[in-house]
């Protein structure tokens, strides 16, 4: 489950969000929640990721990452985005 990609110049590594140790399900959850992806688009992302049971693993992270991102936006003074994400976190809980 490494974050490996293959491009025209060969293999490369991608970290979806933060430079730190962690699971790919958390990264995918951040991608979905921070960008406000519609459910059909999120399902397409998960299908394309092609890791067994990734959908359940991502689902377990979604409320937490929405709350985390919402708290960051609030601390940065971006209240509209914070409200969207914190509302999303509440809905997912």
Cβ-based burial of 58 (10 A; exposed 0-12, middle 13-18, buried ≥19): buried
Q: What percent of the chain has pLDDT over 90?
A: 60
**Neighbouring residues of 61: CB distance < 8 A, sequence distance ≥ 6:** 25, 26, 28, 29, 30
Highest-scoring range by mean pLDDT, 3-12, 40-49, 56-65? 56-65
For 30-52, how does the pLDDT look when each residue is reduced to its tens digit (9 = 90+)?
999 999 999 999 999 898 888 88
What is the C-alpha end-to-end distance of the chain, expressed in Å?
Answer: 27
Please give the Cα distance from 46 to 24 (Å, whole number): 11
Q: Which pLDDT score, from 0 to 100, does residue 24 have?
A: 85
Higher pLDDT, 9 or 85: 85
Is residue 1 over pLDDT 50? no
Q: Considering the entire predicted model, what is its pTM?
A: 0.75
């Amino acid at each position: 489950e490494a974050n490996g990609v293959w491009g025209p110049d060969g293999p490369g590594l991608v970290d979806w969000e933060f430079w730190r140790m962690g699971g790919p399900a958390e990264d995918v959850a951040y991608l979905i929640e921070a960008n406000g992806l519609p459910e059909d688009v999120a399902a397409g992302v998960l299908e394309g990721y092609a890791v067994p049971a990734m959908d359940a693993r991502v689902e377990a992270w979604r409320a937490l990452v929405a709350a985390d991102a919402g708290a960051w936006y609030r601390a940065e003074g971006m209240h509209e985005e914070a409200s969207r994400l914190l509302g999303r976190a509440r809905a997912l809980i």
